[in-house]
Amino acid sequence: MDQTTQPDRQQLTVLLKAWSEGHKEALDRLIPLVYDQLHRLASACLREERRDHTLRATALVHEAYMQLVDCDVTWESRTHFFAVSARVLRHILVDYARSGQRQKRGGGAERVELNQAIMVGPDISPEIITLDAALNQLAANDARKAQIVELIVFGGLTYDETARLLSISDVTVHRELKMAKAFLRSRMVGAG
């Protein structure tokens, strides 16, 4: 890890804790530090979307921001913030897919691989909803594996970034993601 990132990480943690304690000026200083990362996460979530899709990364970030500002959380660290952010992005995408499913009400669900199920759009919204249910089951069985999936799939983080955020090795991330994918596939196939 280079030395230029360490002060930013520490500063972020200090600002998050100050925000948790009710210091509004900490939030004002925090937003510019996290906005680009949140936008990058939102862009990763929407990478496979059609260009004319109505949900854009900026709108997703703003919706996530509104939910994060309104949530009553005692922020522990940068890791905690980005883990919650990934979860918020996931829920926004699932809610968006559900609303599209209600509008479309199409039948004939098609079997889709896990990697394809992370794309959001009217043609695959049932799969992201199934993935969400399977991910909730995984979280009940193994919270860290579910968090790894959220950070990588919904958060758009790399294995290395995920490993750093969770203070585990890249090898552990790879191994646990492989096991998590097997669990999720078994639940998604069973639900289909």
Per-residue pLDDT tens over the stretch 5-44:
544 778 888 999 898 888 889 888 988 888 888 887 777 7
User: What confidence tier does 118 reach under pLDDT thresholds 50, 70, 90?
Assistant: very low
Domain count, the chain: 1
Pairwise CA distance, residues 5 & 116, whole Å: 33
Structural domain harbouring 26: 5-191
Asked whether 114 and 181 are in contact (CB, 8 A), the reply is yes
Which pTM does this prediction carry? 0.66
